[in-house]
Amino acid sequence: MDHSNYVIDEMISAKSIAARVETLAKEISEYFKGTDKLVVVGLLRGSFVFIADLTRELDMPVEIDFMETSSYGNSTESSREVRILKDIRGEIEGRDVLVVEDIVDTGHTLNHVVKILKSRNPARMKICALLDKPSRREVDISADWIGFEIPDKFVVGYGIDYAQRNRNLGHIGAVRFIE
C-alpha cells in the first residue's frame, strides 16, 4: 500500500483538547499540592505541544526536562524495540516527577522509560498521557491521568506525527490511507 496518499479525519477538536488539558492540570496540581517544584519529564517528540499547554496550566513551580525515545521510525507500527535517544539532564532522586506522554499504545516505550526513571529513586512518580489506546496494550502499564481514550486508529496532530508531518495540526485526527 502506498502510504503517501491519506486524509485526516478530525477525531478530537482543539477546543475539546484545551478543555481537557485544563481539567487534567487542575487534578495534577491538586495531587502534587505542596510540592516545592514538580519535575515534568516530557517524552519527545510527540508530547511537546501537550507539555507546553499542560505546564502553563499547572498551579505550582515546575521544572521541565525531556527524554527522547524511538520505537516507530517512519512506520505506523511500533517496532517494540525502545531506544533512548536523549536522557533527562536533571536529577530526580527524592523529587516529585510527572511523566508526560502523547499516546500510550502498546505500552513498551512508557514501560521502558518508567523503569529507568524509577531506578533513580523519585519521591513520587505519576504518568499523564494525552491519548490512550487500551486495545493495543501489550505491557501492563497505564497512565494515572488520561486525556482521551481512543480506538485503534493511527492519529496525528497536536504534536503527534506521521513520518514527521502533521504535528502542527491543532486537533487530533485519524489518518485514513487512500488506495
Task: Tell me the three cell numbers of residue 157.
Answer: 496532530
pLDDT value at 13 more than 80? yes
pLDDT confidence of residue 100: 98
Q: What pTM did the predictor assign?
A: 0.92
CATH top-level class for 24-150? alpha beta
Q: How far from 172 is each of 18, 58, 105, 157, CA to CA, in Å?
A: 12, 22, 15, 5
Q: Which of 96, 102, 105, 132 is catalytic?
A: 105
Distance of alpha carbon 12 from the chain centroid: 16
At 87, is the pLDDT very low, low, confident or very high (cuts 50, 70, 90)?
Answer: very high
Integer-rounded Cα Rg, in Å, for the chain is 16
User: Is 2 an active-site residue?
Assistant: no
pLDDT (tens digit per residue) in 131-141? 999 999 999 99
What backbone torsions phi and psi does residue 141 show, to the nearest 5 degrees?
Answer: -150, 145
Task: Tell me the three cell numbers of residue 145.
Answer: 491521568
pLDDT value at 169 more than 90? yes
pLDDT value at 114 more than 60? yes
- Mean model confidence pLDDT for the chain: 92
Amino acid at 50: F
